[in-house]
Structure 1
Amino acid sequence: MSLDLLRRGLKISHLRLLAELARQSRLTNAATAIGITQPAASRLISEIERITEAAVYVRSGRGIELTEVGRKLAERCVRILQELDDAGRDIDQHMSGQSGHVSIGSVTGPAIEYVLPALRHIRLSYPDISISVDVAPSRDLAPKLEDGRLDFSLSRVPVDEDPALFEERPLLREPASIIARIDHPLTRTDTPIPAQALLGFDWVLPPAGAPIRATAEQALRDKGLTLPSRVLTTSSFLFTLATVQRTNAIAPVAQSVARSFAEGADGTPGSLTELQSDLPLSVETYSFLTRKGQVLTPVAQVVAREVLRAVGEKGNPG
């Protein structure tokens, strides 16, 4: 039979201290962060250990370090307090109408292809909704989604994350392309450009394990080709674009990204070109992700609905 922590006296003050200890390595700093004295924090820790019948921290050279029990409990405290935060936002937004703030995470392709069009519509229809968009690899978005810094994301569950922590609604595979500067030597090659010809140039790739890199490497293997011998590795999308624009390097990117830089809004040529090669690239399916058991606030539901509508309209034309 599991411990009934509420019946044994666990309180919000205990949750707040444990959640802060997940971020701080000194009890004094954690106490200050939640507005109590160090002796009061020590007393709360003693109460927590009595309630759980286990040590929740040990002293170390850097201050204190949570035990395995303390770490697991602190992680849940963070999520519980986030849900209470969301409840407060829910009530506030219900009282004030369709207003509030929503934090979205997205990998690059869907951000440009679906999130951006949805935001244009939201700006016109819901002017009191403020939105922040975190465009990053899935491995960076997952922890932010898990601890409540994001309301939802268009991304993938990283291989080193527990899928049980998320609600996952698979959406679309992400087509990808090879980009180069507009006057690149390969633009003078008959199309489709042989994959072998691509290997004669430097490649700009994200770190090992990134979906777009794994996709490109597997596509080359499937054609019986070696992997690129000259690779610049960077996690910066901006640096990737700058390198491709100023050198003969090429890079695989989401197709929506390639096309947005290959052509201006008025149809004029852009700063990059999408190379038409015989190397098929399609990144694994991304999903609409939320935390397990999370209930989106009303304003987040509005934004999610508009984003998913954009996915449906553009992802399934006709």
Structure 2
Amino acid sequence: MALDLLRRGMKISHLRLLAELVRQSRLTDAASALGITQPAASRLMSEIEHVAGAEIYVRSGRGIELTEVGRKLGERCVRVLQELTDAALDVEHHVSGQRGHVNIGSVTGPAVEYVLPAIRHIRLSYPEISVSVEIGPSVVLAPMLEDGRLDFSLSRVPLNADPDLFDERPLRREPACMVARLDHPLTRHSTPVTASALLGFDWVFPPVGAPIRTTAECALRDMGLQLPPKILTTSSFLFTLATIQRSNAIGPVARSVAESFAWLPDGSPGSIGILETELSLFVETYSFLTRKGQVPTAAAQIVSREVLREVNGEKVQA
């Protein structure tokens, strides 16, 4: 028979303490954060071990350390409490109408191409909904989505993540391109610019393992070429852009992002130029991701619907 934690006496106070111990290693700090005494926290830990029938923590020089069972249980407690918070928000939103706050995660390309225009529409049609957007690589967004800091994301499930923790709706491959400053020597080359010509300049890359870097590396290898001899690695898109604008360095970026910087709204040249090259750059498919079993709030349903309308090219009336 499966272990029934509720029937054995698991309480909300147990969930809150375990969730807090996932974030910090000192029982006194966890107790303080919850507004209880250290003896009360110790008593709760003993109760948790009795309910679970397993050792939950061990003492260490830094305080206490959750065992593997304790950490897995604690991580689930984080998600359970987040679901309860979402449920309370859902009730509030249905009572008060279409209002609330939604946290979106996205890799850079779809953030610029789809999330930004969706937010413009939401601000006009649903002024009581506020939105936060976290832009970053999938390896950063996945744990944020898992523990409830994001309502959904347009990203990928990282190789080191458990795919069973997410509901995944594949969307589309992300085209990429090489970019350089406007007066770069390569802008005077005949097109398409050859890969060997590109290798004559410094490259700016995201860290090893980033999808766009892997795409560029594979494209070069498919042509029998080595990696660029001089590579600057940075996880910051802003630093990437500044480096390309102020030097002869070049780099691969999502084409939707490149186009937003290559042209101003009036059609005049922007701050960088797109290099049409012989490299075929398409980053692996990104997806619409949510936590497995998550029940989205009313506001999150509205925002995700608007974002997916943009992705699918549907026209909506503001």
Q: Does 1:229 align with 2:240?
A: no
- TM superposition outliers: structure 1 runs of 4+ over 4 Å: none
How many Å apart are 1:293 and its aligned residue? 0.6
Structure 1 unaligned residues grouped into runs of 5+: none
Question: What's the counterpart of residue 255 of structure 1?
Answer: 255
1:126 maps to: 126
Length-normalised TM-score, structure 1? 0.98
1:198 matches 2:198:
yes
Aligned to 1:151: 151
Distance 1:254 1:84 in 2: 37
Shift of 1:314: 7.3
Give the 3-state SS of the residue equivalent to 1:305 in structure 2: helix
1:241 aligns with 2:241: yes
Distance in 2 (alpha carbons) for counterparts of 1:73 and 1:193:
54
* 1:227-284 Cα distance to aligned partner (Å, 9 max, x none): 1110000001000000000000001000001101100011110010000111110000
1:65-109 deviation per Cα after TM superposition (whole angstroms, max 9, x unaligned):
001111111011011001001100100111110001000000000
1:295 is displaced (CA, Å) by 1.2
SS across alignment from 2:312? helix
Report the residue type matching 2:99 in the other structure. Answer: S
1:41 aligns to what?
Answer: 41
Provide the C-alpha distance between the structure 1 equivalents of 2:145 and 2:64, rounded to a whole number of angstroms: 27
Equivalent position of 1:136 in the other structure: 136
Matched, 1:268 2:264: no
CA distance, structure 2, for counterparts of residue 123 and residue 188 of structure 1 = 43
RMSD between aligned residues: 0.9
Aligned pairs for 1:98-137 within 5 A = 98-137=98-137
DSSP 3-state at the match of 1:284: strand
Evaluate the alpha carbon distance shift between residue 261 and residue 314 of structure 1 in structure 2; reply closer, same or farther with a 3 A threshold: farther
Inter-partner Cα distance in structure 2 for 1:162 and 1:204:
30
TM-score, length basis structure 2: 0.98
The answer on 1:294 being equivalent to 2:294 is yes
- Residue 51 of structure 1 and its aligned partner are, at CA, apart by 1.0
Q: Hey, what's the Cα distance between the residues in 2 that align with 1:303 and 1:188?
A: 44
Residue correspondence of structure 1 range 55-134 to structure 2 within 5 A:
55-134=55-134
Do 1:114 and 1:314's aligned partners in 2 also have CA atoms closer than 8 Å? no
In the TM superposition, residue 196 of structure 1 has moved relative to its aligned partner by 1.0
- TM-aligned CA deviation for residue 24 of structure 1: 1.1
Provide, for residues 156-202 of structure 1, a one-character-per-residue CA deviation record: whole Å limited to 9, x for no partner: 00000010000000001000010000000000100011111000000
Which one-letter code corresponds to 2:32 in the other structure? T
What's the % identity of the aligned pairs? 73
